[in-house]
Chain A
Amino acid sequence: SYDLTQPPSVSVSPGQTATITCSGDALPKQYVYWYRHKPGQAPVMVIFKDSERPSGIPERFSGSHSGTTVTLTISGVQAEDEADYYCQTAGSSGSSRVFGGGTKLTVL
């Protein structure tokens, strides 16, 4: 299956570390990409190819991949990080794409 499973919500206090997981049976053979999406705005890619950070994305965003689980880590969370986060990978056809269900990050 190419389904991706994320926790619906994660809550952290400012300055703490937020960890968002994404699991799927196909992930050992796939790269994963992470997107941040705030209401009314365009989604923004924060991690590509499991752990690489696009230019302009703060160093506090990092990614890791182990077997069927990938993890987005946000260190020193700030209020502006509050958003929905989605993992994404290639689908069964290779040219299709699949998103996880999304995780709402709340900064307390």
Chain B
Amino acid sequence: EVQLVESGGELVQPGGSLRLSCAASTFNVRDYWMHWVRQAPGKGLVWVSRINGDGSRTTYADPVKGRFTTSRDNTENTVHLQMNSLTVEDTGVYYCARERVLPTVYGMDVWGRGTTVIVSS
């Protein structure tokens, strides 16, 4: 079964750091752009970041630029989100999703169930 499983979410204090992981099953992450999307409590989906197939290019939403870094380990078939200088506004469920972009953009067709990050003192 094609699957994404996120992990690493937990309670962390403001100013702290956290590393999320997204493990892929039965497909190669190098063939896809991989995105992180988050949802704050009671709010909608918000795009966070993306990384291309070979990991050479990343893009970030303005609220996380300079604080978050996405990377990938194609040998482990895993994508990571390193989150630094966390604030309470970063609290939420973090989802990873894959997107096929060649020969055209097909949208985020596989998502994980998310991992919960709580930033609180």
Query: Which of B47, B59, B95, B106 interacts with A49 by CB under 8 Å?
Result: B106
1/0 per residue, CB under 8 A from B, across A30-56: the answer is 010101010011111100110000100
The interface residues of chain B, by DSSP majority, are classed as strand
Inter-subunit contact B44/A84 (CB<8 Å) = yes
* A90 CB within 8 Å of chain B: yes
Query: Which of A37, A45, A97, A100 interacts with B35 by CB under 8 Å?
Result: A97
Size category of the binding interface on chain A: 20 to 34
A42 in contact with B114 given A48-B106, A48-B109, A96-B50 (CB within 8 Å): yes
Quick one: which of A42-95 are within 8 Å of B by CB? Answer: 42-45, 48-49, 54, 84, 86, 88, 90-91, 93, 95
A90 in contact with B59 given A99-B46, A99-B47, A102-B44 (CB within 8 Å): no
Query: Which of A42, A54, A97, A102 interacts with B111 by CB under 8 Å?
Result: A42
* A24 CB within 8 Å of chain B: no
Count of chain A to chain B residue pairs whose CB atoms are closer than 8 Å in the complex: 65
Inter-subunit contact B106/A97 (CB<8 Å) = no
In the assembly, what is the distance between CA of A100 and CA of B43, in Å? Answer: 11
Query: Which of B4, B33, B45 interacts with A37 by CB under 8 Å?
Result: B45
Inter-subunit contact B45/A35 (CB<8 Å) = yes
* B61 CB within 8 Å of chain A: yes
- Chain B residues positioned under 8 Å from A100 (CB to CB): 44
8 more contacts with CB within 8 A, not counting A33-B107, A42-B113, are A42-B4, A49-B106, A54-B109, A86-B45, A88-B45, A93-B59, A95-B52, A97-B35
